[in-house]
Chains A and B, each alone.
Chain A
Amino acid sequence: MSEVNKVSDMNNPADYDLGAEEILQEEIAIQHLMEGYIMPNNFNTDLLEPQEISAVEQQRILNQTMQHMQNGQNGPSRQSTARSRRSGVPRRKLWVFGLAAVMLLAMSSLAVAEFALNKDFLGFFNAESGQLPQQSGQEINMQDSNENGTLTVEQVVGDKQSVYVLLDFVAPEGVVLDGDGYQWDKAHVMLSQSTGAGYYFEELPDDDPADNHLRMMLCLQTNVSLKGQRIDLNLGGLKGYITEDMDYTQPLPGEWKLGFVLDYTPTSDVLPQNVDIKLGEATAHVSSLEISPFTIIVDVDVDNPEGYMPPAGYVEPQGGSVEIADDGTEKMIPYSESPVEIKISDLLADLDRFEVTLQDGSVLQTSGGGGNAELNHHQIIFSFNQLLNLEDIASIKYQGQELQLR
């Protein structure tokens, strides 16, 4: 959404001194401020160049909309639910409140043999019961409570480098959590051995969108094996988005801290590859493909990254990348000035250039892609909206090349 625009105005010496980076920072800050802005009625919407949509497309959109309506209040699959602001008493009375001190309870742990995928996981992955090997998941059932609510880590599932953590949050009786897409204002997620990782939280649909109860998924990927690693969570400032107000709710006070060790057994198929892909003058080589029930990991070696050129038809991302210094400060790097390995990684993780076709002819929907960017080696992890099974996959096309599956 952002780009750098160097503004030089000799009549305004203070601004003249602003460099591209400062202007970018200022523009980003203003974009944040505009979160709560309400577009005036007399804004000239023709400036947005709306185009007529065909009757066929109108019908397709209508069908999808009607489908959402039939799905009920949970709405679009894997989307944050839009929630009605109903008044009333929350129906759940599950927890006892009033504890001033933070309490950490380990109710049970490591019941791997008895693991059965929770219905929220089933919904999250559009899966059926029994579709996932038991050893891929782990019961956690840990709670942290204080006077502002109780956070429970219920289950985790994952593979070698990706983990999904099912969270349950119950606020005190009388608090209505009816915003959209709840997020944590403060989120420290720490791994015991990681050198790099990316994560996000996603709110899950629940039965009553106007009660004091939330279900969330923490999705985390890293560049080293997760087996045996400890995850520590320190979460606070829960806030949701009120669509009709176009604004976030006031963050809920309080912090919740939980730590647990990952003890599930990852399963995957590793398929060696020998496929060249074109990156302009650079020579890139896909060396390995690893398919687990949750992700596909692609390893790519690049011989001469300095020869990188974006391929025809590839739309480079707008904005830039964030560089985090040792002291934790963030620095915005405009895309045009980003290092070549970041540009290569962006291309390699482009969801439009990774296509998985199943035996029944359907194309699998990719839900995300990200990776580890080094000058000569890239590892990209693609995740999906459903569980994977190598036997169900007919072909994988990556950067225009067919990868080897058999």
Chain B
Amino acid sequence: MQEVSKNLSLLWSADQGWAEAKCEEAAMQETDYEQGLLGLIQQQPEQGLAEAIKQYGGLVQAVVRRVLGNECQQDVEECTSEVFWRLYQAVGQEGRFEAGRSLKSYLCGIARHVALDRGRRLSRTVWQELPPEDKAGAPGADPAEQLADKDQKQLVQQCVDAMPQPDRDIFILRYYFGEQVKNIAARLGLETKAVENRLYQGRRRLKKTLMERGVEL
């Protein structure tokens, strides 16, 4: 019986190794493709951007739609074109693409920022008494302000990246892309309650990490 377990374990390890090798191979192919695409954008911008829009346009629009929270096609298309314009600007400038960072990840980040910016412009304002925006120094000040330096930003990065799967992806979908819990649950085939609990675990983990550094949420 022990022998069978051992064999199964070896078989599993072999499968796992094969899967990891396949993933690495796919990642290398993707990197090669991205490098080629960036070169094309630099040398022949129109052709390069056409290929980039074809390849990644749908992903960029998916991020924009989620962040904007609306389906106004004009807004979505304007944001999408701005994302690719920013990509064009970034191409060829040293230091724009961090080593090891994929184009997909870069585009998702830019799309999120552009859509947040657009959302702020489109947001409907209900008048309030003119509020002071200065919250610095106030009790319970914005934790993002407390986490001003890069080291502490890295702390958030490391903490989220270290979450087990699927918790990490759930956390990113919810708090980076603003996805609704019920949609996350439907996509992953989980109960809403299960997603809420995983988000809770993620929040608790992040809070604990931050508290160890003296930052309170």
| B81, A1: Cβ atoms closer than 8 Å | no
Q: How many residues of B contact A (CB 8 A)?
A: 95
Q: How far is the CB of A134 from chain B (nearest CB, A)?
A: 29
Main secondary structure, interface of A, reads mixed
Is A108's beta carbon under 8 Å from chain B? no
If A185-B134, A185-B136, A191-B130 touch, whether A62 touches B117 (CB-CB below 8 Å) is no
A265-284 CB mask vs B (1 if < 8 Å, else 0) is 00000000000000000000
- Point out residues on B near A: beta carbons under 8 Å: 27, 45-46, 49-50, 53-54, 57-59, 61-63, 66-67, 69-72, 77-78, 80-82, 84-86, 88-90, 93, 95-98, 100-102, 104-105, 108-110, 113, 117-118, 120-134, 136, 142-144, 147-148, 150, 153, 156-157, 160-161, 168-169, 172-178, 180-181, 184, 187-188, 196-197, 199-200, 203-204, 206, 217
Contact A69 B85 (CB under 8 A): yes
List the B side residues contacting A68 at CB < 8 Å: 81-82, 85
Residues of chain B with a CB closer than 8 A to A199's CB = 130
Q: Hey, which chain A residues are within 8 Å of B67, CB to CB?
A: 1
Q: Determine whether the beta carbon of B84 is less than 8 Å from that of A7.
A: no
Contacts of B177 in A (CB 8 A): 48
A33-B143, A62-B49, A65-B49 are contacts. A82–B89 as well, Cβ < 8 Å?
yes
Q: Among A241-249, A256-264, A398-406, which stretch is in contact with chain B?
A: A241-249
Shortest distance in angstroms between A341's beta carbon and chain B's nearest beta carbon?
A: 9
A312 CB within 8 Å of chain B = no
Kindly state the interface size class of chain A when it binds its partner: 35 or more
A368: which of B27, B81, B122, B161 is its contact (CB, 8 Å)?
Answer: B122
Which residues does chain B contribute within 8 Å of A9, judged by CB atoms?
197, 200
Q: Which of A29, A33, A247, A322 contacts B128 (CB 8 A)?
A: A322
Q: Is A187 an interface residue (CB 8 A)?
A: yes
Interface residues of A (CB under 8 A from B): 1-3, 5-7, 9, 12, 15, 26-27, 29-45, 47-53, 57-58, 60-62, 64-69, 73, 75-76, 79-80, 82, 84-85, 180-181, 184-191, 194-200, 202, 221-223, 236-237, 241, 243-244, 246-247, 250, 315, 317-318, 321-322, 324, 328, 330, 342, 345-346, 349-352, 367-373
Contact of A51 among B62, B133, B153 (CB under 8 A): B62
9 A-B contacts, Cβ less than 8 Å apart? Answer: A29-B142, A31-B178, A37-B156, A43-B108, A47-B184, A61-B53, A66-B49, A236-B134, A241-B113
> Which of B97, B127, B148, B199 neighbours the largest number of chain A CB atoms within 10 Å of its CB?
B127
Query: Once the chains bind, are B90 and A40 in contact (CB under 8 Å)?
Result: no
CA distance in complex: A39, B184 (Å)? 17
Nearest B-chain residue to A76, judged by Cβ: B82
Chain A's closest residue to B86 (CB) is A82
Contact check, A186 vs B102: say whether CB atoms are below 8 A apart: no
Closest beta carbon of chain B to A389's beta carbon, Å: 23
Asked if B143 and A32 make an inter-chain contact with CB atoms under 8 angstroms apart, the answer reads: yes
Q: Bound complex: CA of A371 vs CA of B125, how far in Å? A: 7
Residues of A within 8 A of B200 (CB): 7, 9, 12, 15
Determine whether the beta carbon of A38 is less than 8 Å from that of B53. Answer: no
Main secondary structure of the interface of B (DSSP, over half): helix
Residues of B within 8 A of A30 (CB): 175, 203, 206, 217
Contact A84–B93 (Cβ < 8 Å): yes
Q: Is the CB of A196 within 8 A of B53?
A: no
How far is B107's CA from A43's CA once the two chains are assembled, in angstroms? 13
User: How far is A85 from B122 in the complex, measured between Cα atoms in Å?
Assistant: 28
Picked from B77, B131, B217, the residue with its CB within 8 Å of the CB of A60 is B77
Nearest Cβ in chain B — how far from A395, in angstroms? 19
**Taking A69-B45, A243-B110 as contacts, is the C-beta distance between A373 and B126 under 8 angstroms?**
yes
Question: Which of A30, A49, A52, A76 has the most B CB atoms < 10 Å from its CB?
Answer: A30
The answer, among A29, A48, A244, for a CB contact under 8 Å with B66, is A48
Q: Are A50 and B62 in contact (CB under 8 A)?
A: yes
Since A3-B180, A373-B127 are in contact, a sample of 7 more A-B pairs with Cβ atoms closer than 8 Å, ordered by chain A residue number, is A32-B144, A37-B157, A39-B176, A41-B102, A64-B81, A237-B136, A371-B126
A32 to chain B, nearest CB (A): 4
**A131 to B194 alpha-carbon distance, docked (Å):** 59
Nearest B-chain residue to A71, judged by Cβ: B85
CB of A197 within 8 A of CB of B127, answer yes
The answer to whether A346 touches B105 (Cβ under 8 A) is no
How far, in whole Å, are A3 and B196 apart by their CA atoms in the complex?
A: 12
Residues of A within 8 A of B122 (CB): 351, 368
In the complex, chain A residues whose CB is within 8 Å of the CB of B110: 243
Q: Are A79 and B82 neighbours in the complex by a CB distance under 8 Å? A: yes
Assembled-state Cα–Cα distance A186/B117 (Å): 19
Q: Which residue of B lies closest to A338 (CB)?
A: B126
Rounded to whole angstroms, the CA-CA distance of A1 and B64 in the bound complex is 12
Residue of A nearest to B80 (CB): A61
Let me know if A342 and B126 touch, CB within 8 A.
Answer: yes
Measured CB to CB, the nearest residue on chain A to B94 is A85
A328 contacts which chain B residues (CB < 8 A)?
131-132
Within the complex, the shortest CB–CB distance from A268 to chain B, in Å, comes to 19
